[in-house]
Structure 1
């Protein structure tokens, strides 16, 4: 796992910062006359540079600590790189500024209403966005983003919570998640969690973190849930890889659909190459389209038999691999 995370970190840093251009605009500061806080509040908005080229509704990614340059830079860079390589869809980034960060994130209800009643309606009126939103947070922001996901899951349908502090308010997050889980649970969407294991800040949060993940694993729900133990990362460095891993997880289905489209195009150009059918079948299988996947595996087997460039011994190994994939 550490190797995977390290490779992802390398992808996010050396590859991206060496680029001389970005596919996202710099964050633009907007002023909201908040009904909830009864004062003017700031948010930032960053748009994909090809915003006008794609007419479909955009994904909205809302993150707290928008006035923190490191947090803003990290999530903007992760979004930029993943969008560049078609791992996530075209998205709008909105950062939330705080006047009293700790109070707003920990007390949570007022800030939650601010997002729900002030920010999202304003963004929806100004831009073409989808109804389901991704909420992202770190530390107390991770606690807050988890709360948003649980309390208004039809809107905040994706959640990325990095090194979350789940101890505030007498650890009320456990009661909230238990209440929302169960046979009548309507929770859906994607929930990604991650935590480091270095230095006291994250070490002190780990017990609460894994208690929360255990509740989710035992609960009866339709959440697509994953967590990563970021071995070797501390509280402040965990967002560096956590944000990218979380975005990649939340939009994983889009990536597999892109693989299918890509392989279909390649099949048109190379209709007799068996491996394009195998890769297409792998993507279909990942999306739980098992019948279509098995049909593609069968085509791959038939095309493989006609491939004169593959040795007899290699054909046998590949046939065994395809047969095993069909049985699972």
Structure 2
């Protein structure tokens, strides 16, 4: 299954009024309605729901839960089988929304979605495969403490929420239809910690839209501070990394960008301290007069360039090769 196939499945569920949003604009409008109509009433009826099986099983199977039914929005969920090592799977377009989650076991998402509105700790293996993790609200904090695989994963971290995946060391996407937002970190205090990721394969963007996006906005912070290399593949479209309205993407160790077209779009004064080479890299400054972006180590910018709209300044003292 391609990344696009996964998105197509999830988008159909959104259209039928289930939780998983895919396109960013649709995400915000849908979630606002969902929160008012579904999450808020659930807080008054929160229950503690416990996994009761000592064998691997599916989240959607009510027989695995103490209440006889899967958890619902607002529930506090405990998955802890001290005498067993179980794997709990969310799959086949299952969408789960919980208030808190304490998972001592393995949690695997495959073509599924998990939304958390308060505290979540995953102590076993965490896998986010063709799936969406949503962490929403100022009280929400998600941490994956164990072995972690986020390849093909999608993240929405919003409203002051925080998420940390300290054992994710690579991030690989295969193929996504252009026009989708694969990471969104939005709102003051919102923070996605992917600082242990060292290699980022941005995959292949296909379809009629111009790009696939990774966005930090309105004070949100996306921490890619450990990434050394970004690779994008062919397909006629490109990957787009956006800082807007006080959002920040930390690429402090990024040294090389190459492959198909990659766009960095920023409206703030910033520095790319380690970037030495950009192949098919375009850098667009949108902050207006007074914005300064420094590239102290950049020597080569091939098949790319800078776009300046209204008095922004680029400093690249070592740049000796640039062609569009």
TM-score by length of 1: 0.30
Higher relative contact order (CA 8 A, sep 6+): 1
The structure with the greater share of residues assigned to strand is 2
The structure with the greater share of residues assigned to helix is 1
TM-score by length of 2: 0.30
